[in-house]
């Protein structure tokens, strides 16, 4: 299906589904037990990812089908195809959405535009620690740090405009700008299909051939197919930065920025982007079989005048004497005390003094001041983030390490969990990372445990 000589990976993310009469906890236990019986890894809900090129793939798919028939449940899956491209002439800038602590989702129209409305979110810049590119919830814009903006503005081949995002954060932080290339490619090729019960695009999926005949048997109720987009070679200019998108229910969506390899190399060498931030673009001379043509649409172009006005607003904002965020254990104690006064019944006793003393010389030393407050509690008012007790932390850390035997998180401690299943990791160097179980990657990072605690508690 792909261009001659171009290989690709095929991954399948799947999970078992049960009728409502089955208890939620029982569903999870069933799912996890079955996945582990297949010698596969999964998250706490039983969601697992299968490499369809592995020798045991067909055997596992048939085992899923048999299990569903025997236990009166069903499976839902998402197929993903990614081309093996160690490098390319063009790269897709990878983005992630703002978290709830990074934006109020307050939107404002930037007025006097050529081509219609251009909507920008308001952000809390002090809560964005990593400086990574972001996108909005509708995938209609891409936002980059001020440092990246300054670098690209002196690059004449970039041909990009930048419009400042209003910063409503209490503390000083790195500013962000909407990144708006002037050029777009006119079209690209896409294969994104799905069905649910009797609705959907079964015929389009069936035309792919193997392994989809078997996949449609294993996942009779719901299957999603997501293949990497393809751009034809003659659609791309010789260099610079361009964008692609597609028409949506309200204007456009799936807005992505494409960066030529020369500029991408400069951004990488300056430390502004990592390899993970740049996905090689699949470029072909002819479209693959089963793909559909997508014509891109124009977007509102912010004028130079508006960009200049917004930049002046940014400078005035930076001239204000906002306080630096200085998280400390003293501030942690203040926030904890205020939180406990609201619902004292939610806070257990602190860890025993003898245990605290024993932990001060080991990897849990950084956590001892928190266990001295309470041995497990909810950090935020919405009870979404749970600071684990020492005993729970040992258990969750052991489980997390078993799920990641490659050593990437060696000696990391799971000290808190979110309701959604995301794990908070304390690294040996004192930094804190949030492990997103949905994307199976680190989604956020903080310089210290106190920085993380203060940000969550204050928001």
Write down the pLDDT at residue 345. 81
Residues 6+ apart with CB under 8 A from 393: 364, 367, 413, 414, 415
For residue 324, being part of any structural domain is answered with no
Same domain, 133 and 268: yes
**Percent of the chain beyond pLDDT 90?**
53
Least confident of 104-113, 136-145, 417-426: 104-113
Write down the pLDDT at residue 2. 42
For residue 199, being part of any structural domain is answered with yes
For residue 442, being part of any structural domain is answered with yes
Confidence of residue 117 (pLDDT cuts 50, 70, 90): low
Peptide bond into 211 cis (omega under 30): yes
**Largest separation between any pair of C-alpha atoms in the chain:** 71
For residue 443, being part of any structural domain is answered with yes
CA torsion through residues 385, 390, 396, 397, sign:
positive
Kindly report the average pLDDT of the chain as a whole number.
88
**DSSP conformational letter for 398:** H
For residue 31, being part of any structural domain is answered with yes
CA dihedral of residues 104, 110, 115, 117 (deg, nearest 10): 40
Are the C-beta atoms of residues 177 and 133 closer than 8 Å to each other? no
Q: Which domain holds residue 200?
A: 8-83+188-227
State mean pLDDT over 14-28.
Answer: 85
Write down the pLDDT at residue 236. 96
Write down the pLDDT at residue 131. 84
Same domain, 196 and 344: no
Statement: residue 382 has pLDDT above 70: no
State mean pLDDT over 209-232.
Answer: 90
State mean pLDDT over 183-205.
Answer: 87
Same domain, 197 and 175: no
State mean pLDDT over 187-197.
Answer: 89
Write down the pLDDT at residue 96. 86
Same domain, 152 and 281: yes
CA dihedral of residues 360, 445, 450, 395 (deg, nearest 10): -40
Write down the pLDDT at residue 443. 82
Are the C-beta atoms of residues 120 and 53 closer than 8 Å to each other? no
Write down the pLDDT at residue 1. 35
As a whole number of angstroms, the distance between CA 214 and CA 347 comes to 52
Same domain, 386 and 260: no
Confidence of residue 5 (pLDDT cuts 50, 70, 90): low
Statement: residue 4 has pLDDT above 60: no
Statement: residue 428 has pLDDT above 80: yes
Confidence of residue 107 (pLDDT cuts 50, 70, 90): low
Of residues 56, 53, 60, the one with CA closest to residue 34: 60
CA torsion through residues 334, 335, 340, 343, sign:
positive
Write down the pLDDT at residue 116. 61
Question: Which tens digit of pLDDT belongs to each residue from 258-277?
Answer: 999 999 999 999 999 988 89
Statement: residue 312 has pLDDT above 90: yes
For residue 3, being part of any structural domain is answered with no
Q: Give the CATH number of the domain where residue 454 resides.
A: 3.40.1580.10
Last residue of a domain, one of 265, 293, 319: 319
Half-sphere exposure of 71 (CA within 13 A, CB side): 18
Same domain, 443 and 368: yes
Same domain, 127 and 214: no
3-state secondary structure of 351: coil
Are the C-beta atoms of residues 134 and 143 closer than 8 Å to each other? yes
For residue 440, being part of any structural domain is answered with yes
3-state secondary structure of 349: coil
Last residue of a domain, one of 270, 301, 319: 319
Domain count, the chain: 3
Most confident of 111-125, 192-206, 321-335, 402-416: 402-416
Confidence of residue 114 (pLDDT cuts 50, 70, 90): low
Q: Give the CATH number of the domain where residue 55 resides.
A: 3.30.70
Statement: residue 176 has pLDDT above 90: yes
Q: Helix crossing, 449-458 with 329-342: angle to 10°?
A: 40
CA dihedral of residues 208, 210, 211, 214 (deg, nearest 10): 100
Task: Kindly calculate the radius of gyration of the chain based on its CA atoms and give it in whole angstroms.
Answer: 25
Write down the pLDDT at residue 406. 81
State mean pLDDT over 375-380.
Answer: 87
Phi, psi for 188 (deg, rounded to 5): -155, 180
Same domain, 169 and 267: yes
Same domain, 68 and 178: no
State mean pLDDT over 317-341.
Answer: 85
State mean pLDDT over 225-235.
Answer: 95
């Amino acid at each position: 299906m792909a261009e001659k000589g171009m290989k690709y990976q095929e991954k399948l993310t799947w999970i078992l589904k049960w009728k409502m009469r089955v208890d939620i906890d029982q569903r999870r236990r069933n799912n996890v037990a079955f996945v582990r019986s297949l010698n596969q890894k999964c998250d706490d809900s039983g969601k697992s990812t299968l490499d369809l090129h592995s020798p045991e793939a067909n055997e596992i798919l048939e085992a899923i089908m048999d299990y569903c028939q025997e236990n009166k449940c069903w499976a839902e899956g998402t197929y993903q195809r990614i081309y093996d491209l160690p490098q390319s002439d063009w790269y897709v800038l990878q983005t992630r959405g703002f978290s709830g602590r990074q934006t109020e989702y307050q939107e404002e129209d930037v007025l006097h535009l050529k081509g219609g409305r251009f909507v920008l979110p308001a952000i809390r810049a002090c809560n964005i620690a990593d400086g990574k590119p972001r996108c909005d919830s509708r995938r209609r814009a891409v936002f980059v740090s001020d440092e990246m903006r300054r670098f690209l503005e002196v690059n004449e081949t970039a041909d990009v405009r930048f419009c400042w995002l209003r910063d409503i954060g209490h503390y000083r932080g790195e500013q962000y700008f909407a990144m708006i290339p002037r050029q777009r490619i006119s079209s690209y090729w896409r294969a994104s299909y799905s069905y649910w019960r009797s609705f959907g695009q079964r015929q389009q999926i069936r035309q792919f051939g193997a392994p989809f005949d078997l996949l449609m048997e294993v996942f009779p109720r719901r299957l999603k197919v997501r293949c990497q987009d393809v751009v034809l070679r003659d659609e791309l200019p010789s260099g610079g930065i361009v964008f692609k998108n597609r028409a949506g229910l309200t204007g456009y969506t799936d807005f992505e920025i494409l960066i030529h390899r020369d500029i991408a190399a400069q951004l990488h060498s300056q430390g502004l982007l990592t390899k993970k931030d740049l996905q090689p673009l699949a470029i072909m001379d002819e479209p693959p079989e089963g793909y559909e043509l997508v014509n891109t649409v124009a977007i509102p172009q912010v004028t130079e005048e508006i960009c200049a006005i917004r930049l002046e607003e940014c400078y005035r904002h930076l001239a204000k004497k906002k306080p630096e965020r200085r998280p400390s254990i003293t501030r942690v104690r203040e926030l904890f005390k205020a939180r406990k006064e609201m619902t004292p019944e939610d806070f257990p006793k602190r860890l025993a003094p003898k245990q605290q003393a024993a932990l001060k010389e080991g990897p849990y030393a950084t956590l001892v001041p928190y266990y001295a407050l309470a041995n497990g509690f909810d950090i935020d008012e919405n009870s979404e983030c749970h600071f684990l007790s020492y005993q729970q932390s040992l258990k969750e850390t052991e489980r997390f390490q078993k799920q990641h035997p490659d050593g990437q998180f060696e000696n990391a401690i799971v000290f808190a969990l979110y309701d959604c299943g995301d794990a908070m990791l304390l690294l040996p160097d004192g930094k804190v990372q949030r492990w997103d179980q949905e994307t199976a990657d680190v989604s956020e990072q903080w310089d210290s445990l106190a920085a993380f605690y203060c940000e969550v508690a204050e928001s």
